[in-house]
Amino acid sequence: EPEVTQTPSHQVTQMGQEVILRCVPISNHLYFYWYRQILGQKVEFLVSFYNNEISEKSEIFDDQFSVERPDGSNFTLKIRSTKLEDSAMYFCASSVTFLLGMSNGYTFGSGTRLTVV
Protein backbone atom coordinates (compact mmCIF):
# COMPACT_ATOMS: atom_id res chain seq x y z
CA GLU A 1 0.00 0.00 0.00
CA PRO A 2 1.36 3.48 -0.88
CA GLU A 3 2.86 5.37 2.04
CA VAL A 4 3.76 8.89 3.01
CA THR A 5 7.39 8.81 4.10
CA GLN A 6 8.88 11.23 6.61
CA THR A 7 12.51 11.76 7.52
CA PRO A 8 14.09 11.92 9.98
CA SER A 9 11.99 10.03 12.49
CA HIS A 10 13.56 12.01 15.32
CA GLN A 11 15.38 15.34 15.20
CA VAL A 12 17.03 17.05 18.14
CA THR A 13 18.03 20.65 17.64
CA GLN A 14 19.22 23.56 19.71
CA MET A 15 16.93 26.50 20.28
CA GLY A 16 17.41 29.12 17.59
CA GLN A 17 18.60 26.66 14.97
CA GLU A 18 16.86 26.05 11.67
CA VAL A 19 15.36 22.64 10.95
CA ILE A 20 13.96 21.11 7.81
CA LEU A 21 11.52 18.25 8.08
CA ARG A 22 11.13 16.17 4.96
CA CYS A 23 8.22 14.31 3.49
CA VAL A 24 7.64 12.25 0.38
CA PRO A 25 3.89 12.23 -0.32
CA ILE A 26 2.15 9.50 -2.26
CA SER A 27 3.07 9.96 -5.90
CA ASN A 28 -0.35 10.65 -7.44
CA HIS A 29 -1.54 12.87 -4.59
CA LEU A 30 -2.00 16.56 -5.27
CA TYR A 31 -2.69 18.06 -1.85
CA PHE A 32 -0.14 18.15 0.93
CA TYR A 33 -0.42 19.04 4.58
CA TRP A 34 1.56 19.48 7.74
CA TYR A 35 0.07 18.84 11.14
CA ARG A 36 1.69 18.73 14.54
CA GLN A 37 0.94 17.17 17.89
CA ILE A 38 2.49 18.55 21.04
CA LEU A 39 2.88 15.77 23.58
CA GLY A 40 -0.44 15.00 25.25
CA GLN A 41 -2.36 17.47 23.13
CA LYS A 42 -4.51 17.28 20.02
CA VAL A 43 -3.26 17.03 16.46
CA GLU A 44 -3.27 20.57 15.03
CA PHE A 45 -3.40 21.75 11.44
CA LEU A 46 -0.45 23.84 10.28
CA VAL A 47 -0.69 24.28 6.53
CA SER A 48 -2.07 22.88 3.30
CA PHE A 49 -0.34 23.13 -0.06
CA TYR A 50 -1.60 22.70 -3.59
CA ASN A 51 -0.27 23.60 -6.99
CA ASN A 52 2.97 24.89 -5.54
CA GLU A 53 1.40 27.32 -3.17
CA ILE A 54 -0.08 27.48 0.29
CA SER A 55 -3.85 27.10 0.14
CA GLU A 56 -4.58 27.43 3.84
CA LYS A 57 -2.58 27.99 7.01
CA SER A 58 -3.37 28.18 10.70
CA GLU A 59 -2.33 30.89 13.14
CA ILE A 60 0.38 28.53 14.37
CA PHE A 61 2.04 28.77 10.97
CA ASP A 62 3.73 32.13 11.46
CA ASP A 63 6.70 33.70 9.70
CA GLN A 64 9.06 31.19 11.30
CA PHE A 65 7.53 28.43 9.24
CA SER A 66 7.73 27.82 5.51
CA VAL A 67 6.92 24.96 3.17
CA GLU A 68 8.36 24.03 -0.15
CA ARG A 69 8.07 21.40 -2.81
CA PRO A 70 11.63 21.64 -4.13
CA ASP A 71 11.25 18.86 -6.69
CA GLY A 72 8.57 16.50 -7.93
CA SER A 73 8.62 14.25 -4.90
CA ASN A 74 9.63 16.04 -1.70
CA PHE A 75 7.55 18.33 0.49
CA THR A 76 9.44 20.11 3.25
CA LEU A 77 8.61 22.08 6.37
CA LYS A 78 11.24 24.56 7.52
CA ILE A 79 11.32 26.18 10.92
CA ARG A 80 13.69 29.11 10.73
CA SER A 81 14.61 29.67 14.36
CA THR A 82 13.29 26.94 16.59
CA LYS A 83 11.78 27.63 20.01
CA LEU A 84 11.30 25.23 22.89
CA GLU A 85 7.57 25.21 22.25
CA ASP A 86 8.13 23.91 18.72
CA SER A 87 8.92 20.52 20.25
CA ALA A 88 6.23 18.23 18.90
CA MET A 89 5.49 15.37 16.56
CA TYR A 90 5.13 16.73 13.04
CA PHE A 91 2.96 14.78 10.62
CA CYS A 92 2.95 15.18 6.89
CA ALA A 93 -0.13 14.06 4.98
CA SER A 94 -1.29 13.95 1.40
CA SER A 95 -4.56 13.40 -0.43
CA VAL A 96 -5.67 12.80 -3.99
CA THR A 97 -8.40 15.32 -4.01
CA PHE A 98 -9.66 18.32 -2.15
CA LEU A 99 -12.96 16.58 -1.54
CA LEU A 100 -12.57 14.55 1.61
CA GLY A 101 -15.51 12.33 0.86
CA MET A 102 -13.84 11.05 -2.24
CA SER A 103 -10.41 10.63 -0.78
CA ASN A 104 -11.44 8.91 2.44
CA GLY A 105 -9.36 11.29 4.42
CA TYR A 106 -5.69 11.93 4.15
CA THR A 107 -2.83 9.48 4.31
CA PHE A 108 -0.50 10.46 7.12
CA GLY A 109 3.18 9.74 7.48
CA SER A 110 4.64 8.26 10.65
CA GLY A 111 5.82 11.63 11.84
CA THR A 112 9.03 13.35 12.84
CA ARG A 113 9.55 13.90 16.53
CA LEU A 114 11.22 17.29 16.89
CA THR A 115 12.90 18.01 20.21
CA VAL A 116 14.19 21.53 20.76
CA VAL A 117 16.69 21.82 23.60
Partner 1 sequence: DQQVKQNSPSLSVQEGRISILNCDYTNSMFDYFLWYKKYPAEGPTFLISISSIKDKNEDGRFTVFLNKSAKHLSLHIVPSQPGDSAVYFCAASVRSGANNLFFGTGTRLTVIP
Which spans of this chain sit near partner 1 (rule: CB under 8 A)? 4, 6, 9, 31, 33, 35, 41-45, 48, 55-56, 58, 91, 93, 95, 98-101, 104-111
C-beta of 78 vs 98, nearer to partner 1: 98
Sorted by sequence, the CB contacts under 8 Å of residue 6 that are 6+ apart come out as 21, 22, 23, 24, 90, 91, 92, 109, 110, 111, 112
CB of 41 to partner 1, least distance (A): 7
For residue 79, give the nearest of 63, 65, 58, 89 by alpha carbon. 65
C-beta of 100 vs 117, nearer to partner 1: 100
C-beta of 72 vs 105, nearer to partner 1: 105
* DSSP state at residue 62: -
C-beta of 81 vs 104, nearer to partner 1: 104
CB of 102 to partner 1, least distance (A): 10
Distance CA 64, CA 19 (A): 11
Alpha helices in 21-94 (DSSP H): none
CB of 87 to partner 1, least distance (A): 17
